[in-house]
Amino acid sequence: MSLNTESKLEKILKAGHLGVTSECGPPRGSDPEGIKEKGKLIKDYVDAVNVTDNQTAMTRMSSLAACIHLKLMGVEPVLQMVTRDRNRIALQSDILGAASFDINNMLCLSGDHQSFGDCAQGQNVHDLDSMQLVQTVRHMRDEGKFLGGDDIKRPPKMFVGAAANPFADPFEIRVPRLAKKIACGAEFIQTQCIYNLDKFEEWMKRVEERGLHEKTFIMAGMTPMKSVGMAKYMKNRVPGMDVPDAIIDRLAGVPKEKQAQEGIDICVEAIQRLKEVKGVSGFHIMAIEWEEKVPEIVERSGLYPRPEV
């Protein structure tokens, strides 16, 4: 498969390896040490690291700045960009800024509504939606032009991804929605956290029926549960999350001090099962504020060492 960018993630996926990505949330302050520390912990266990963009609408250090810190220490970042906070001028501008540091991957999202965060009274922008942002980056890269039509000197060479939530409603359009994102130019997909494996496999079956797994790389989203409390919170409070009771019961069935380990075990078992599912091209391990556990999950899931490309 020919390569479109210098992205390490693209090279690994196109070489036929299962890709592994993880996620780092930038700090709520200007000290870069935290993000560097997280980067150091997981560097050798993943192919690229997503850097979230003011996730849950809480104001944080910018994703782009945090990506640069990672890039400078030799970690491959995936710049997450939401359409909530910036219009098409700012988005294109930040894409060029990222490309100037040879940040080679981007994930296009709409972003959580601002009412969940610390600026509930703020405006949102949504000049573009997430699919249109995918189109925009691809247009900038492939046509070498701005949305306004002018030529870009040294166009950004981004490997472009989008999110998919197999569990949001209505289920019947979840696959058509993926098809739409692929039609807009999404080259890789990172899914919402998967706990309901049966439902995910049902979604993947429909994806495969339409041959969509051959048009994009689907990376299954995994988040280990730290406790039964977290599992209940995810089930009841996080929009679009599907946590089966069996997960909650299993965590509740072990003593409190062992729940975290149980959560890791559940995650590793899920990865091992999903590795066998046709169309799954890799794993996106989002260990939320628990990055130190990523190496263990990757190793125990048989995904270590990472391939050299």
Residue whose CB is less far from other proteins, 68 or 231: 231
Instruction: Please tell me the distance from the alpha carbon of residue 67 to that of residue 106, in angstroms, as a whole number.
Output: 11
How far apart are CB 80 and other proteins at their closest, in Å?
Answer: 14
Beta-strand relationship, 19-24 and 48-51 = parallel
Instruction: Please tell me the distance from the alpha carbon of residue 48 to that of residue 46, in angstroms, as a whole number.
Output: 6
Q: Which two tokens stand for residue 209?
A: 């029926």
Residue whose CB is less far from other proteins, 68 or 234: 234
Residue whose CB is less far from other proteins, 178 or 204: 178
How far apart are CB 168 and other proteins at their closest, in Å?
Answer: 5
Helix (H, G, I), strand (E, B) or coil at 24: strand
Q: Which of 169, 51, 57, 53 is CA-nearest to residue 113?
A: 57
Residue whose CB is less far from other proteins, 119 or 254: 119
How far apart are CB 160 and other proteins at their closest, in Å?
Answer: 15
Interface residue list for other proteins (CB under 8 A): 83-84, 88, 110-113, 115-116, 124, 126-132, 135-136, 147, 163, 165, 168-170, 172-173, 176-177, 179-180, 183-184, 192, 239-240
How far apart are CB 246 and other proteins at their closest, in Å?
Answer: 20
Q: Output the CA–CA distances (angstroms, integers) from residue 197 to 163, 177, 256, 295, in the order listed.
A: 18, 20, 25, 22
Q: Which two tokens stand for residue 129?
A: 């939606």
How far apart are CB 183 and other proteins at their closest, in Å?
Answer: 6
Q: Which two tokens stand for residue 119?
A: 């600026």
Residue whose CB is less far from other proteins, 127 or 265: 127
DSSP letter (8 states) at residue 278 = T
